[in-house]
Homo-oligomer: A and B are copies of this chain.
Amino acid sequence: MFKNLHESTYMNPFDDTYFMKKALQEAELAFDKGEVPVGAVIVFNNQIIARAHNLTELLNDVTAHAEMQAFTAAADFLGGKYLKDCTLYVTLEPCQMCAGASYWTQIGKIVYGASEPKLGFSVLKTKLHPKTKLISGVLEEECGYLLKKFFIEKRNLN
């Protein structure tokens, strides 16, 4: 019985929700800087090897999405440019650019939180790498809430 408890997924603290919470913490850092609050982490062997949040305003660079920075940082950490055995956790569905970048990384898995029905990669049919698994809707509500809060506050300021 004790063995069963250990083997059950219930006991595994390193599930998709756990890592998405870490990505959400990154999104909150973006929020605090006045950036569109999107955060990402990249995980390899249950270890976070890259953390990033959207910095397009601060860096004055539309390519500075959380995912792009995370891909670069993860490859730097691993010393190889492919991320075949890694998982990207990102609070918002990736755009064409970030999904296109993920193709080149050959990343093993992408897990995202909130959907992006207008400019997300799935509605725009961006091609993922054939080896990339996809999971959506993890902590969807929490991820989406932070984005809604950001845009409501921004609207009220203008």
Query: A interface vs B, CB < 8 Å?
Result: 56, 60-63, 68, 71-72, 75-76, 79-82, 95-101, 103-105, 119, 124-127
Whether B61 pairs with A75 at a CB distance below 8 angstroms is yes
30 inter-chain pairs at a CB distance below 8 angstroms, sorted by A residue, are A56-B81, A60-B76, A60-B81, A61-B72, A61-B75, A61-B81, A62-B71, A62-B81, A62-B82, A62-B104, A63-B71, A63-B101, A95-B103, A96-B96, A96-B99, A96-B100, A96-B103, A96-B127, A97-B97, A97-B98, A97-B101, A97-B103, A98-B100, A99-B100, A100-B100, A100-B126, A103-B119, A124-B126, A124-B127, A126-B126
Bound form: Cα–Cα A100–B120 in Å: 11
